[in-house]
Structure 1
Amino acid sequence: MVGKPELDQPLSGARILIAEDEILIALDMEAAFLDAGAYVVGPCATVAAAVDAVSTEELSLAILDIRLGQETTERIGDLLTERGVPFLFYSGQTLPDEMKRKCNGVLVVSKPATQQELIGAAARTLAV
């Protein structure tokens, strides 16, 4: 039986940046978003790579870990905000105070989460 595309692929056509430095988590996220119908930009394992992607790619949404290596993703969030691209955090850490202030209202999904929880959070963020 063929289901409705919007149910089977809730992120159909979305261009999603993944900024994650743990390769296994990044690959799992990539597979989940591809299965949900999205086009994946990245995964980007460094702040520099993510900043480059945000600067050059057309994006619908970004999923950011709070830290990539030793750097926070604050600069990426700032650039996404300037460009009007919604984003959410997927991390096992808490937001540093400055990022909490800047990112007030940005959804934080705690690791570990199921693929369905992450896809649902992305779909809700896009719907806002």
Structure 2
Amino acid sequence: MERKVDENHPLRDTRVLIAEDEILIALDLEAAFRDAGAEVVGPFMTLTEALTAAESERVSIAILDIRLGTATTEAVSDLLTKRGIPFLFYSGQRLTPEMQRKCGDAVLIDKPAKQEDLVGAAVGILAA
């Protein structure tokens, strides 16, 4: 049976992991996904926190900044891939060559973006 999408809350019954180190952006992402009906896991501002959550939390999708401080989120994306959890990157940076090789098919949304574009991308990934 196909899941009916609530147009006002298209991410109802989903858990979204957010890894973002800029507090204002993290809070904006959290609000956008909560408004779309999702339960937000995080936001996580350090690589250690994001890795712990990616390893142990039950999530439907993840929103990752490419860098948390000076560290890339490559280990987080690797872990999510291993667990079969989709993700997208939301960043003002480019993927490193190694991340590009591993995650070349991942959606990359450039900062800044509208909340509806981020939520729409997540909905599209989950529908695929």
Please, what TM-score do these two structures have when normalized by structure 1?
0.95
Aligned to 2:103: 103
Aligned to 2:122: 122
Moved over 6 A (4+): none
Aligned counterparts of 2:30 and 2:105: Cα–Cα separation in 1 = 25
Identity %, equivalent residues:
59
Counterpart of 2:119, as a letter, is I
The answer to whether residue 71 in structure 2 is matched with residue 65 in structure 1 is: no
User: Over aligned residues, Cα RMSD in angstroms?
Assistant: 1.1
Aligned to 2:90: 90
Aligned counterparts of 1:97 and 1:6: Cα–Cα separation in 2 = 38
Runs of 5+ consecutive residues of structure 2 not aligned to the other structure? none
Counterpart of 1:99, as a letter, is M
Aligned counterparts of 2:66 and 2:85: Cα–Cα separation in 1 = 17
- Displacement of 1:5 in angstroms is 6.5
- Displacement of 1:44 in angstroms is 0.2
Aligned to 2:55: 55
Aligned to 1:77: 77
Counterpart of 2:26, as a letter, is A
Aligned to 2:11: 11
Aligned to 1:37: 37
Matched residue of 2:58: which SS? coil
Matched residue of 1:7: which SS? coil
Aligned counterparts of 2:81 and 2:63: Cα–Cα separation in 1 = 13
- Displacement of 1:98 in angstroms is 0.5
